[in-house]
Structure 1
Amino acid sequence: MDRLDAMRLFTRIVELGSFTAAADHLNLPRATVTHTIKRLEARLGAQLLQRTTRRVRATREGEAYYSHCVRLLADVDAVETDFRQASEQPRGRLRIDLPTQMARLWLTPTLPAFFARYPLIELDISTNDGMVDLLREGVDCVLRVGQLPDSSLVGRHVGRLEQASLASAAYLRRHGMPRTLADLTKGHYAVNWASPTTHRVEPLEFMLGRKRREVMLPGRVTVSGVEAYMGCCEAGLGIAQFPRYRAADALASGQLKEVLPSSPPPSLPVSVLYPPHRQMPARLRVFVDWLIEVIGKQL
């Protein structure tokens, strides 16, 4: 009998309180059970079990060894289960949360191919551009843009999202096209963005080589929602900064123009977040891999 089998036998004796019951449960001869425990105690150099006429109990050393065995055997069982699942079709329901535009433009068009590959997985998709409490709300994973907060969640890096400084054609006819950062202070306005979490108005950011410069411009309107931010920029209320993909159509039509393209805003990290798992469910693992593959191709 190998060491793992000996551990399983030992834990069953402790749980059933009997050599005979453990032998019957595991379909082993009583003599094999007795011999295995004697060899186990000899190898460890400690008495693990106290035998009485009515019951078998773990010694203090036996209780400590039992705790280690339970954890180790649970890990072994989880690994074996995961490998068995790897040879089967992942199945079950996942709750995921995605940024609104990424979901519409990048992910949902690929879902028919995902379901063709994994027909037994079902998805509940919500779209949200703010943070979600995964544990409290029962969400399995989220895709997020920006610096990650310190948390107990596991994060996998997907890539970086290019940004652009934008203004409407109508705004630029009134205020002129700035050619340098210094020009921004000469009669220009921003659509001010207030963080939904801190409510602090954020400055515009520009990269000059490897140096980051912040510029705080006056603004007639302050928003904290992505759609309102874009809408105010398109309405000519000031300069705003967006991930480039969000403004692709407006740039192509000429409704929006890029401002200071040689000094773009810093790119933003894109990450997949999910709660820590001792053994990640196969359905979540394959979806996270799919998400990283799909979004990574766009970045």
Structure 2
Amino acid sequence: MDLDTLRIFVRVAELSSFTRAAEQLGMAKGRVSDAVTRLEAGLGTRLLQRTTRSVRLSPDGEQFMARAAELLREADELQTLFQPAGSGLRGRLRIDLPNGLARDLVIPRLPEFLAAHPQLEIGISTTDRRVDLVREGFDCVLRIGALVDSDLVVRRLGELPQVNVASPDYLKRHGTPRSLADLAAHRVVHYADKLGLQGAAWDYLDKGVAKRLPMRCNVVVNGTDAYHAACLAGLGMIQAPMLGMQRHIDAGTLLQVLPKLAAPPLPVSLLYAHRRHVPLRVRAMLDWVTQVVSPHVAR
């Protein structure tokens, strides 16, 4: 039994899929299946129960999985135990980031992290959908907004203040709203995971209480880049973090409206899986992302 075989088994068990495990490990599916089969033969027990539709741990597999995952984490620690100071960390990291934060904050600073740890390989996912950290094999994810993953460890970094903006062309055609009542004559660009007009609204705080005013819209998008582009094109007003809008406001391509009726700030959080020992490379990434993002969020 070797560590590479254990890593293959653990990844298959975490993802409940030989196919997804092979994709993430960069291996042929047959090689992954053979490795698990040899492991089971050597142990003399079935670790995974396979059907045409699912792969799940057997009772023996659940017991073995816990010990194997712990052994791999300890092996990661041992690998760096006698490395000279400053020699850097080794291994692969996979992180999921909101597109705007990746583009504007994290990736521009990434060279300094890799300069300190040139042996690391980093995979960066930038998507607006909520990835499944465990099933999709991410070491950590950075999220903006309310959290629903109760089984993950959460490191709160702060909040992003939001701002209401519209293009000069939109305001020229529709006028500048001065109150909630004026919004009856206006439209928003609607951001939604599933494309549909339902749910378009104006979010605001009334004496500290979050409220929503239903709004009309003509355009629905499911990505932040498209959301910003639609606003720049004059298709409606949007509510978005000031962090991404400041450069447009400074350039005059977007104008702020109803500053006293902004949407509540959005929490920013780093999430990672519950582990007794978090690998050093993951801890290093968590601390570095915290250092990069924290100056740009409100506490």
TM-score (structure 2 length as normaliser): 0.68
Number of equivalent positions: 227
Q: 1:7: which partner in 2?
A: none
Q: 1:11: which partner in 2?
A: none
Q: Which runs of 5+ in 1 are unaligned?
A: 1-70
Is 1:206 aligned to 2:189, yes or no? no
Alpha-carbon separation, structure 1, partners of 2:235 and 2:246 = 19
Which runs of structure 1 show a deviation greater than 3 angstroms over 4 or more consecutive aligned residues? Answer: 74-89, 195-200
Over 3 Å counting, the alpha-carbon distance change for 1:81 and 1:230 in structure 2 is closer
* Deviation of 1:90 (Å): 2.7
Alpha-carbon separation, structure 1, partners of 2:153 and 2:79 = 24
For 2:218, give the aligned amino acid.
Answer: R
* Deviation of 1:130 (Å): 1.5
1:184-195 equivalences under 5 Å are 184-185=183-184, 187-195=185-193
Is contact 1:189–1:219 with CA below 8 Å preserved after alignment?
yes
Alpha-carbon separation, structure 1, partners of 2:251 and 2:189 = 21
Q: Secondary structure of 2:131's partner?
A: coil
Is contact 1:195–1:201 with CA below 8 Å preserved after alignment?
no
Map Cα deviations across residues 119-150 of structure 1 (whole Å, 9 max, x no partner): 33221112112211122221111111000113
Q: Secondary structure of 1:219's partner?
A: strand
Map Cα deviations across residues 85-106 of structure 1 (whole Å, 9 max, x no partner): 4774432110111111111110
CA RMSD of aligned residues (A): 2.8
Q: 2:121: which partner in 1?
A: 122
TM-score (structure 1 length as normaliser): 0.68
1:75-114 equivalences under 5 Å are 82=77, 85=80, 88=83, 89-114=88-113
Q: 2:42: which partner in 1?
A: none
Over 3 Å counting, the alpha-carbon distance change for 1:209 and 1:233 in structure 2 is same
Query: % of aligned pairs identical?
Result: 40
Alpha-carbon separation, structure 2, partners of 1:152 and 1:198 = 30
Q: 2:237: which partner in 1?
A: 239
Larger radius of gyration: 1
Q: 1:40: which partner in 2?
A: none
Among residues 233, 255, 258, which one is paired with 1:257 in the alignment?
A: 255
Over 3 Å counting, the alpha-carbon distance change for 1:85 and 1:196 in structure 2 is farther
Q: Which runs of 5+ in 2 are unaligned?
A: 1-65
Is contact 1:191–1:232 with CA below 8 Å preserved after alignment?
yes
1:56-71 equivalences under 5 Å are none
Q: 1:145: which partner in 2?
A: 144
Is contact 1:130–1:196 with CA below 8 Å preserved after alignment?
no
Map Cα deviations across residues 254-297 of structure 1 (whole Å, 9 max, x no partner): 11111111221110001111122121100000110111111101
